[in-house]
Amino acid sequence: MGARENFTTDAMQYAPQLFATAMRMTRNRADAEDLVQETFLKGWRAFGSYQEGTNLRAWLFRIMTNTFINKYNAQQRRPQESELDDVEELFLFRRMGAFDQSKINQSAEDQMFQLFTDDEVKNAIEALPETFRIPVLLSDVDGFTYKEIAEMLDIPIGTVMSRLHRGRKAMQKMLYEYAKDRGLVDESLLDPQD
């Protein structure tokens, strides 16, 4: 096996993860497919600069993230702080008591898993402005470290942390609103706060 064949085999195993993340980035199947293809083409062309032993997965995600940002002109460097409402800490956790048990037909174990549909989770991520959506995807979905994300996006680690924090809270609020829209929430069950 030559180095290029190794590279091909290794890269292909990440195709499903790259595609799922591309779907959440582009919010569109055709664009997601194009984005992953472009990532592989660029990776293949840049093969000379890829050193065996470096983290191929992170390398591919970095190529994809940068391709997305350049292609869609995502406003990575100047986040619109006003794009996201400030959401209180532990937003969803503090409201779990409002979920009406009688309307949720699941064992206690599956309950939270069934509470939010796949589409709701996907929509909650996709509704985030790109500045927040990309770090959240790279962390929550793809499991990269703060340092890896900071390098991929060329932003300080502290910025990664604050975007994750705000993005996650906004996402929790959206999940709560979706559940509310489906009639799963009875806010009279909530203890009065503070």
Binders of other proteins among 44-63, rule CB under 8 A? 44
Q: Kindly state the DSSP code that residue 50 receives in the 8-state scheme.
A: P
Number of C-beta neighbours around residue 87 at 10 A:
19
Q: Does residue 91 touch other proteins according to CB under 8 A?
A: no
Q: Which two tokens stand for residue 45?
A: 């062309």
Residues shown for the chain: 194
Q: Does residue 66 touch other proteins according to CB under 8 A?
A: no
Binder to other proteins among 40, 59, 61, 68 (CB under 8 A)?
A: 40
Radius of gyration of the chain (CA): 19
Judged by beta carbon, residue 122 or residue 186, the one nearer other proteins is: 122
Binders of other proteins among 92-151, rule CB under 8 A? 92-93, 96, 112-113, 116-118, 121-122, 125, 137, 139-141, 143, 145-146
Phi, psi dihedral angles at 92 (to 5 degrees):
-75, -40
Q: Does residue 16 touch other proteins according to CB under 8 A?
A: yes
Q: Does residue 182 touch other proteins according to CB under 8 A?
A: no
Phi, psi dihedral angles at 59 (to 5 degrees):
-60, -45
Residue 52's SS3 state is strand
Number of C-beta neighbours around residue 5 at 10 A:
9
**Site residues for other proteins per CB under 8 A:** 1-5, 8, 12, 15-17, 19-20, 23-24, 29, 33, 36-37, 40-41, 44, 89-90, 92-93, 96, 112-113, 116-118, 121-122, 125, 137, 139-141, 143, 145-146, 161, 164-165, 168, 171-172
